[in-house]
Copies of this chain bind each other. A is one copy, B any other.
Amino acid sequence: MHKYERAGLQKDDLLYMYRTMLTARKIDERLWLLNRAGKIPFVISCQGHEAMQVGAGMALERGKDYLLPYYRDLAMVVHFGMTIEDIMMSNFAKEQDISSGGRQMPGHYGSKKLGIVTGSSPVTTQVVHAAGYALAGKMEGKDFVCLTSFGEGSSNQGDFHEAANFAGVHRLPVIFFCENNHYAISTPLDRQLSCVNVSDRAKGYGMHGETIDGNDPIAVYAAVKAAVERGRNGEGPSLIEAVSYRLTPHSSDDNESTYREADEVTEAKGRDSITTFAQYLKELGFFTDEDEQAMHDEIQAAIDEATDAAEAAKYASPESALLHVYDQ
């Protein structure tokens, strides 16, 4: 039995997985071009995180479960229903941005109808909200789970600790999903974390913890799926750490040359899931070079179209800045 079969996945799932990863990657690459061309002020990337994000997202049930993501989760929210055009509208800060109408920086995802809970910039606050959603669900007798994600640097914030303990005490169905990419801006793991794995912290909250290869979407899917089941069965929260590498600078404002070697990045690119997972699909015979090219072309066309639409779309009116401070 193949590992994808053991995880309960089928050929179509794998192809969907790859398409979603690739869509996110290609959007991300386009955003950098737009930024360098001076068309959008800021980019924050998902590159290197696509496999873990799609793997984790697919373990949830859309329309039922909740996502409380962070700024790198482009691939996760695309899986959860944000369209390429939605993403472009938000990067161009246009009125049609479904997350904020152009009020927030890109990467600050939110959409009530999609089950994606609005997020902010100060890291880790969303992790506490996830416990709140889960508590509400428990009080209302629902069986949804909440997945909240954050970087390894952010796992040091007090809010992570308080939320994890709260969820542990009340056995809430929260999946604490740590996307460990080895850096918090310039700060490497050993100056950020005092433990070997972020998942070493799970025991301190009486919850299941595990660390998995974040470049393997199937492994991530399997681990999160098991966490979802524990959550639905009243067995409480889980801490899942997926390890990969940040393939880009922290953001379009960052200059990484002062704090990491180009070699290190090159080496990590050798494990890039966009390449390795395509290879895996080909080895399985699910995918040919032609399929791959077609998929690229198709996504590219969709991105072109969405970019044009977003560029042409209008901003919210200046005076609209006064709206929605309080209920009207």
Contacts and interface: CB of A to CB of B under 8 A. Distances in A.
Interface of A: 156-162, 164-169, 190-196, 200-201, 203-207
Contacts of A160: 161
A295 B132 CA distance: 55
B169 A165 contact: no
Nearest to A204: B201
A103 B15 CA distance: 69
A161 to B, nearest CB: 3
B193 A169 contact: yes
How many copies make up the complex? 2
A161 B169 contact: no
Nearest to A203: B200
Contact of A159 (B158, B195, B200): B158
A280 to B, nearest CB: 33
Nearest to A187: B169
Given A161-B161, A195-B203, A200-B203, 5 more contacts: A157-B162, A158-B159, A195-B204, A201-B204, A204-B204
B194 A200 contact: no
Contacts of A158: 157-159, 161-162
A161 B164 CA distance: 11
A194 B164 contact: yes
Nearest to A206: B194
Contact of A195 (B166, B193, B205): B205
A162 B156 contact: yes
